[in-house]
Structure 1
Amino acid sequence: MFSLIGFTPKLVMCDLDGTLVDSAADIHHCLNLALDDLGLARVSQLQVRNWVGRGASRLVYCVLEAGQHPAGLHDGLLAGFMRHYQQAVCQFSRFYEGVPEFLKACRQAGIPLACVTNKPYAPAKGLLEALDCLDDFQLLVGGDTLPHKKPHPEPLQHCLRHFGTRPGEALMLGDSRNDVEAARAAGVPCVALPYGYNHGEPIEACEPTWIVPHLGVLLDRAPA
Structure 2
Amino acid sequence: MNAALDPARFPAGVLFDLDGTLLDSAPDMLATVNRMLAARGRVPLALAEIRPHVSRGARAMASAAFPELDPAQVVDLVPEFLDIYRQELGRHSRAFDGVEDMLAALEAAGTPWGIVTNKPESLARDILPQLGWQARCRVLVGGDSLAERKPHPLPLLHAAAAIGIGPGDVVYVGDDARDIVAARAAGMPSVVALWGYRLDGDDPVAWQGDAMVERPAALCDASAWPATA
- Tell me the TM-score range normalised by the shorter chain: 0.7 to 0.9
Does 2:2 correspond to 1:13? no
In structure 1, the gaps of 5 or more residues are none
Cα distance change of structure 1 residues 25 and 120 upon mapping to structure 2, 3 Å threshold: same
Does 2:121 correspond to 1:121? yes
Alpha-carbon contact 1:10-1:111 (below 8 Å) kept: yes
Greater CA drift, 19-28 or 47-56: 47-56
DSSP 3-state at the match of 1:134? coil
Partner of 2:207: 206
CA RMSD of aligned residues (A): 2.6
Question: TM-score, with normalisation over the residues of structure 1?
Answer: 0.85
Aligned-pair CA distance for 1:41 = 5.7
In structure 2, the gaps of 5 or more residues are 1-6, 225-229
Alpha-carbon contact 1:13-1:172 (below 8 Å) kept: yes
Aligned-pair CA distance for 1:42 = 4.3
Aligned-pair CA distance for 1:70 = 4.5
DSSP 3-state at the match of 1:85? helix
Cα distance change of structure 1 residues 127 and 114 upon mapping to structure 2, 3 Å threshold: same
DSSP 3-state at the match of 1:136? coil
Alpha-carbon contact 1:38-1:77 (below 8 Å) kept: no
Q: Structure with the greater relative contact order (CA < 8 A, sep ≥ 6): 1 or 2?
A: 1
Question: In 1, Cα distance between the equivalents of 2:222 and 2:63?
Answer: 44
Partner of 1:168: 168
Aligned-pair CA distance for 1:104 = 1.7
Partner of 2:83: 83
Aligned-pair CA distance for 1:38 = 4.5
Alpha-carbon contact 1:194-1:202 (below 8 Å) kept: no
DSSP 3-state at the match of 1:211? strand
Alpha-carbon contact 2:106-2:220 (below 8 Å) kept: no
1:125-182 CA-partner distances (Å, limit 9, x unpaired): 2222212222210111111112222122111111122223222211111112121111
Alpha-carbon contact 1:49-1:197 (below 8 Å) kept: yes
Aligned-pair CA distance for 1:71 = 4.1
Q: Please tell me the residue identity of whatever aligns with 2:39.
A: D
Alpha-carbon contact 1:216-1:222 (below 8 Å) kept: no
Once the two structures are superposed, the pairs formed by residues 1-224 of structure 1 within 5 Å of their partners are 6-39=8-41, 42-64=44-66, 66=67, 68-200=68-200, 201-220=202-221
1:186-205 CA-partner distances (Å, limit 9, x unpaired): 11111122121122314223
Q: Please tell me the residue identity of whatever aligns with 2:218.
A: V
Question: In 2, Cα distance between the equivalents of 1:167 and 1:90?
Answer: 31
Greater CA drift, 124-133 or 74-83: 74-83
Question: In 2, Cα distance between the equivalents of 1:221 and 1:181?
Answer: 24
Aligned-pair CA distance for 1:14 = 0.6
Question: In 2, Cα distance between the equivalents of 1:154 and 1:108?
Answer: 29
Cα distance change of structure 1 residues 142 and 40 upon mapping to structure 2, 3 Å threshold: farther
Question: In 2, Cα distance between the equivalents of 1:127 and 1:174?
Answer: 18
Cα distance change of structure 1 residues 148 and 38 upon mapping to structure 2, 3 Å threshold: farther
Question: In 2, Cα distance between the equivalents of 1:53 and 1:165?
Answer: 27
Question: TM-score, with normalisation over the residues of structure 2?
Answer: 0.84
Amino-acid identity (%): 34
Greater CA drift, 76-85 or 35-44: 35-44
